[in-house]
Amino acid sequence: MHYNRQAAAFYARKWWNRRNPMFYDFENLGGDCTNFISQCLFAGCGVMNFTPVYGWYYLSLDRRSAAWSSAHYLYNFLVANTGPAVFGQEAPTETAQLGDVFQYSFDGAGFTHSALVVGFDEINKPLIAAHTFDSIDRPYDDYSYQLIRLIHIEGARI
């Protein structure tokens, strides 16, 4: 199945500074960034993975996977997923494509923030969209971070 990068980026552009009422706003529960990125990824693939514990899905605040709203678990899901939904691999930051995911560690101890590539500037530097630090067309390297990683979305499966 095809991952629609344009649909993921379009969703990010539509919702970057507001919250889709179909999903809980995690702003007061540690931040909404990865929840927002999961919504974008879902917009690009249209499939969730309902595998207990290690899947990637959202039905409600109480019926969701950890990977839906946690940067660490989203990474684990994306790079290990062999079932339905999106999958990817860690890649060099300079290989970023529309619809890929950047993750940031602000303290060097763990990755806690996620953002989606929504475009590129005039020198081909990736621009991102994010929640928690609501942003659109922000240069990917504009945060004060200790570590950064890129998850290249390779595709999606039904």
Domain ranges in the chain are 5-157
Q: How confident is the model at residue 137, as a pLDDT? A: 98
* Burial class, 36, CB count within 10 angstroms (exposed 0-12 / middle 13-18 / buried 19+): buried
CA distance 61 to 56: 13
| CATH number belonging to domain 5-157 | 3.90.1720
Q: How confident is the model at residue 51, as a pLDDT? A: 97
Question: What single-letter DSSP state applies at residue 1?
Answer: -
pTM over 0.85: yes
CA distance 51 to 59: 13
pLDDT along the chain (158 residues), means of 10: 95 98 94 97 98 96 97 98 98 98 97 98 98 96 97 97
Q: How confident is the model at residue 125, as a pLDDT? A: 97
- CA quadruple 106, 36, 47, 81: dihedral, nearest 10: 10
Q: How confident is the model at residue 30, as a pLDDT? A: 87
Alpha carbons within 13 angstroms on the beta-carbon side of residue 52 total: 0
